Amino acid sequence: MQKLNRSIITGTGAAIPDRVITNEDLEKLVDTSNEWIVSRTGIRERRMLEEGFSNADLSEKAAREALSRAEVSASELDLILVATVTPDHHTPSTSCILQARLEAFKAGAMDISAGCTGFVYALSVAQQFINSGIYTKILVVGVEILTRFTDWEDRSTCVLFGDGAGAVVVEATEDENRGIINFSLKSDGRGAKLLYVPAGGSAMPASEETVNNRMHYLIMNGNEIFKFAVKAVEDTLYDLVRRENKKPEDLDMIILHQANLRIINHIRKHLKLPQEKFPVNIDRLGNTSSATIPIAMHEEILAGRLKEGDLVAMIAFGAGLTWGGVLMRW
C-alpha cells in the first residue's frame, strides 16, 4: 500500500487591524452596555478594518508572515486556500487576488465558504491534498471582515463581530510522530437561516428595497446557535479523540472557535479541564469567524505555550450550519 504523507504546520501568521472599537464606543451607537456585553459574551473590544482596505490586504499580511516563519517562498506553493464568508468580491475569489499579490504563480487557488468553520474545513482539504502525495506546500488563510456585513443598528449582532486574519503554511512531512492525525467535518443545512445574509446573492439580488430593509447584513438567532454550538463542539471533540483511543484530558490544548466566552467556559467546565488549555482571544478581538482559530494558534506559538509534541484539537462551528475539528500532534 502507498505510504500516505503527513501534514504539519510549519509557519503561522496573523493580521489584526489597528482600529479598536470598545464596548463604550458601541454604547454610543446602540442601546447596550459594557456590562451586558462583557457578562453575556466576554468581549471587551474588537478590531475594525480601516476604510480603503479589504479582505485581501489582511490576508496578504497574515500570509506573508506565515510564509516567512515557515521559510517557504510563495513561488513554491502548490495551492492557496482562503476560508472566508466576507470575500473582496463574489467573484473572483480572494484566493486568486492573494495568489497574484504573493506572485505564487505555480499555485492553484480557491476560497472555501463554511461559515466560522471555514478554517477547519480548509485545513482538512489541505491535509487531503498532502496526504495523497499530490501537493507538498499549501497556504491556508482564515480571514473575515465581518464589520462590513454587520448591521450597526442591531444590538444583538453588532457587539459580537470583529475583523482579522490568520494564516498557516502546511507542508508534507515524513515524521510519523507529528502532523494532522484526523479531522471531522459536519453540516446541517436545515439550520441555514439561523445565521444568514438574506440579500445580495442570486436568491435575492441587491436592490433599493433590500438595501433600505437592511437585508444585506447578518441576521442571527443567537439562542439557537448557542445551544447548537455547545453540543457540536463536544460531539466533535469526542469524535476526534475516541478515534485515536484517547480522552479529552489527553489533549494539551483545545483551540475553540471564539464566538462567545460563555460557550468556551461552559465546555471547559463540563469537560473539567484547566483554563490554560483553552486559548482565548474573543475578549480582545470579538468573533473573527474563520480567523479565530489560526489567530489563536499564532498567538499561542508566539507566547511559547504551543510546543512541538503537543496534542492539539481545533474545533469550530458556524453558519450553514457547519461544524468540525482537526486533531494534530504539533
Q: Which of 55, 96, 257, 298 is catalytic?
A: 257
* Residue pair 166/141 in contact by the 8 Å Cβ criterion: yes
User: Alpha-carbon Rg of the chain, whole angstroms?
Assistant: 19
Q: Closer to ligand ACO at the Cβ: 27 or 310?
A: 27
* Length, in residues, of the chain: 330
Considering only residues 141-200, where is the footprint of ligand ACO by CB under 6 A? Answer: 155-156, 159, 195
Distance CA 193, CA 195 (A): 5
Contact pick of 149, 196, 226, 238 for ligand ACO (by CB under 6 A): 226
* Residue pair 325/121 in contact by the 8 Å Cβ criterion: no
Contact pick of 36, 149, 196, 238 for ligand ACO (by CB under 6 A): 36
CB of 2 to ligand ACO, least distance (A): 37
Of 185, 84, 70, 69, the residue nearest 137 (C-alpha): 70
Distance CA 276, CA 304 (A): 13
Contact pick of 108, 198, 200, 222 for ligand ACO (by CB under 6 A): 222
Helix, strand, coil percentages (3-state) for the chain, rounded to 5, are 40, 25, 35
Contact pick of 102, 116, 232, 280 for ligand ACO (by CB under 6 A): 116
Mark whether 116 is an active-site residue. yes
- Is 40 near ligand ACO (CB under 6 A)? yes
Distance CA 96, CA 72 (A): 19
Q: Closer to ligand ACO at the Cβ: 36 or 238?
A: 36
Answer whether the bond into residue 92 is a cis peptide, omega within 30°.
yes
Stretch that binds ligand ACO, among 3-11, 36-44, 90-98, 273-281 (CB under 6 A): 36-44
Distance CA 187, CA 319 (A): 9
Of 60, 86, 263, the residue nearest 161 (C-alpha): 86
Mark whether 257 is an active-site residue. yes
The Cβ of residue 24 has, within 10 Å, a number of other Cβ atoms equal to 12
CB of 18 to ligand ACO, least distance (A): 23
Distance CA 165, CA 316 (A): 16
Q: How many residues bind ligand ACO (CB under 6 A)?
A: 21
- Is 94 near ligand ACO (CB under 6 A)? no
Stretch that binds ligand ACO, among 4-12, 34-42, 163-171, 205-213 (CB under 6 A): 34-42
Stretch that binds ligand ACO, among 69-77, 166-174, 218-226, 276-284 (CB under 6 A): 218-226
Q: Closer to ligand ACO at the Cβ: 169 or 229?
A: 229
Contact pick of 124, 147, 258, 260 for ligand ACO (by CB under 6 A): 260
Task: Write out the catalytic residue numbers.
Answer: 116, 257, 287
